[in-house]
Amino acid sequence: MKQLHERLRALNSSAQSAPAPYRAEGSGSGSSVGKDRNNLILASASPRRKKILGELGFVFDIVIPECEETRFEDDPHRTVSENATRKNNWCRERHPDAVILSADTIVVFDNLIVEKPKSMDEAVSFLKMFSGNTQSVLTAVAVSSPQLNVIPSAAEGSNISVEVIESIVHFKQLSDSMIEDYFTFVDPMDKAGAYDVDQYGDLVIESYEGPYSNIMGLPSDTAKDMLAKAGLE
């Protein structure tokens, strides 16, 4: 465990010395928000969501929502839907003329919502719990338009549409040494469930069902389809 903490300190030190490109409005595209950028805002600090949306060919600005998230222990779908909507509404109040995409992702194991670990000990316990088992990854995507009744899937009189996508992740049987090896490569502290499918995921994950991009935090086909319905293609 001491070696894991030392490795994490090295990872965090490296991250702190690098530029932080997601901390200011418009920082992902180099222009002012909502002007000549297809009027699209990604309401997220996630580098993985930024990567996925960029790979779809969209030009966008980044705004990081500063709203309080909620949690319904007995309703994971409602939890992600509500949080994605809150993020979207927070940005909508400040950028009324933009098309806004927000998202929220959670891990669900044994009907319980699993958040980011609060310590390395908890991160280790998460992977021990997941070992040989199956979990769900839920991502809610919310897209809103400046005008009402533009998005076909939005409720009547609304300008926002929300969809929830589920992927299933099957974990390998993990020994203590496998978990320790994984955490020498991956800092689990900023990741729901203490793992990242796109970062040495093959060390701990046996297989998955559903969209891979959904496990990363933004189902690409869903995002593309929802933005098309909002007038962006």
Determine whether 187 is an active site residue. no
pLDDT at res. 149: 57
CB atoms inside a 10 Å sphere around CB 66? 9
What confidence score (pLDDT) does residue 16 get? 37
115 confidence band (pLDDT: 50, 70, 90): confident
Which has the closest alpha carbon to 227: 141, 149, 114?
Answer: 141
Residue 103, pLDDT > 50, answer: yes
The backbone region for 47, taken as left when phi is positive above 0, alpha when psi lies in -120 to 50, beta otherwise, is alpha
Ramachandran category for residue 208: left, alpha or beta (phi over 0 → left; psi -120 to 50 → alpha): beta
Crossing angle, helix 47-55 and helix 220-229, to 10 degrees? 60
pLDDT tens digits, one per residue of 29-84: 333 343 334 589 999 999 999 999 999 999 999 999 999 899 998 999 999 999 99
pLDDT attached to residue 192? 85
Tell me if the domain spanning 2-229 has CATH number 3.30.460.80: no
Q: Which residues of 32-41 are buried (b: 16+ CB within 10 A; e: fewer)?
A: ebbeebbbbb
Please, which pLDDT band fits residue 27 given cuts at 50, 70 and 90?
Answer: very low
CA distance 4 to 6: 5
> Contact, 204 vs 25, CB < 8 A?
no
3-state secondary structure at position 98: coil
CA distance 117 to 134: 18
Kindly report the pTM of this predicted structure. Answer: 0.80
- pLDDT confidence tier of residue 233, bands split at 50, 70 and 90: confident
Selecting among 104, 190, 196, 202, the annotated active-site residue is 104
Is 77 in contact with 120 (CB distance < 8 Å)? Answer: no
